[in-house]
Amino acid sequence: MTATETPQDRRRTAGGLLNVRSVWLQDIVLAAAVVVPELFYFGTPLAPWSSTEQRLAMTVLALAEGLALVLRRHRPLVTFGAVWGISVGADLLSWADAVDYIPCFGLLVALYTVAAQCRRPVALTALVLGLVPMGLAIAEMTGDQEDSRFLPVLVANIAFYIPVTLATWGFARWSRAAEEATERHRQEVAEARSRVTQERVRIARELHDIVANAVAVMVLRAETARVTALEDPARGEAFAHIEDLGRSTMAELRHMLRLLRGSVAAVEDGYSHGLGDLDRLLADVRKAGVRISVETRGAPLRIDDSVSQTAYRLVQEAATNITKHAGPGTRAVVRITWDRALLIEVVDDGAGRPPDGQQELSTGHGLLGLRERVALYGGLLSAAPYGPGYRVAAALPVSTAGAAGGSGPGPDGAVTVDAPGAGTPNGRRRRGG
C-alpha cells in the first residue's frame, strides 16, 4: 500500500483480486465437475476386475485432464491439445485392454472453449480433430460385441457421440456470434452517442457564431445610441429596453451553450462564410464604433473552403471580442499574410471605452471553439495580451506547396505562428468569446 493510495483504490484492487480468484475457482470447480463423473461413468476405477495399475493409470489420466481444463479460459488451444491427446491415448489403451477408460466430457468442454473463443478456421479444425477420439470410442464400444448386438450398439453410440459433439460445437459458435452481435450493438450505440455529442457541439458553435456575435453588436449599438440620446428620454428608455433585452438574451444563450457543450469535439460545421465576406463583417464592426482596417500581404493562394471558413470565423471572433471588451474608439487591424501558410492576425490597441457589463456579453465559448477549429486543420491559435491591447493570431495550411518563406509546419506537422507579447503580464483580462 502506498502513501497516496485511497480507500477507493484499495477496494478496487481488492475487487480485482477477488474477481481473478473467482475465475480460477470457477474453472477448478468445472474441471472437477467434469472429470469426476467422467472417471466413474466411462471408467472402472472401483470395478473388482480392475488391477491396481489400471486404477492408477485411469486416475492419472483423469487428473491430467482436470489440470488441462483449469487452463481452458487462458490457453484454449493448449487445453484442447492436451485433452485431445489424453482422450486419444485413453481410447487406444482401452482398445489394447490396458485400461477400461473412455473419456468424453472433458473433450466436449475443451471443444466448446475453442469454438467459442477462436476464429472459424480454428474452430472447424478443432471439430474435425474432436471427431477422432469420438470415433475411437465408438469403435471400442462395438469392437467386442456379438453379431446380433453389433448394429444396435453401433447405432446407439453414433447417435450419442456424434450429435453431442456437433451440438456442443454449434452452441459455442452461436454463443460467439451472439457476443459479437452484442459488441457490435454496443459500438453502434457508442457511435450514435458520439454523433449526438458532435451535433451538440456543432449547434453550440452555430449558436455562438450566428447569434451571440450579432446580439453583442446589437447591444453595444443600443448602448451607444442611448448615451447619445440623453436629450430625448423616450428614445433613451427605448434603447435601454433593447439593451436589457439583449443582455437577458445573452444570459439565456450562455446557459444553453453550457448544456449543449457536454463534451469537446472537433467537428466540421459546413458554414458558407469565407474570406470573401470580411468586408461585410468589418462594416458591422465599424458601425459599433471600432476603427478596424485590413492589411493584405502576398498574393492570395488557393485554400480549401473549410480553411477559408475557419479564417473568417477567426476574424469574426477576434473583432467581436474587440467590440465587447475594448469598446468604441478602439483601433484594430486585420493582417492577412499569404505565405507558406495563411497567417491571420487581429490586433487592437486597447484604447477604446470598454462597455458596461462585459461579462454579460460573453458566452465564454468563442475562443475555445475557435481553438478547436484551427487545430482541426493542423494550425495553432495564439490569443494573448499585446501591449495595452490584445492579439489573436493563427496560421492555417494552404493547398499550394510552392509558396516560400513565412511560418512553416512545426515538428509535429502543425503550422505554428509566433505570439509577440503573449508572455507580457499587463493585467488585462483574457477574453473568452
pLDDT tens digit sequence for 339-369: 888 999 999 988 776 665 554 444 445 677 7
What is the distance between the alpha carbons of residues 378 and 362, in angstroms, rounded to a whole number? 27
pLDDT score of 426 more than 70 = no
**pLDDT, tens only, 13-70:** 545 544 556 778 888 888 888 889 888 888 888 888 888 888 899 999 999 999 999 9
Neighbours of 175 (CB within 10 A): 14
Give 63's contacts (C-beta < 8 A, 6+ positions apart).
35
Share of the chain above pLDDT 90, in %: 21
Interval 267-285 mean pLDDT:
73
What's the pTM?
0.47
Cα 397–401–404 angle (5° rounding)?
90
Q: State the Cα angle at 290 between 287 and 294, rounded to 5°.
A: 100
Average pLDDT over residues 303-330: 83
User: For residue 95, how many other CB atoms are within 10 A of its CB?
Assistant: 15
Cell of 157: 453410440
pLDDT tens, residue by residue, 122-136: 999 999 999 999 988
| Contact assessment for residue 113 and residue 72, using Cβ atoms and an 8 Å cutoff | yes
- DSSP letter string over 209-253? IIIIHHHHHHHHHHHHHHHHTTT-HHHHHHHHHHHHHHHHHHHHH
What lies within 8 Å, CB to CB, of 263 at 6+ separation is: 197, 201
C-alpha cell belonging to residue 35: 472429470
Strand partners, 389: 386
Cα separation, 164 vs 301, whole angstroms: 73
Residue 256's Cβ-side half-sphere holds a number of Cα atoms within 13 Å equal to 15
Q: pLDDT value at position 429?
A: 41
Tell me which residue of 89, 105, 154, 165 sits closest to 130, measured CA to CA: 165
Residue 128: exposure state from Cβ atoms within 10 A (0-12, 13-18, ≥19): exposed
Chain segment 372-407, per-residue pLDDT in tens: 778 777 788 888 888 888 899 998 888 644 343 333
pLDDT at 90 exceeding the cut of 70: yes
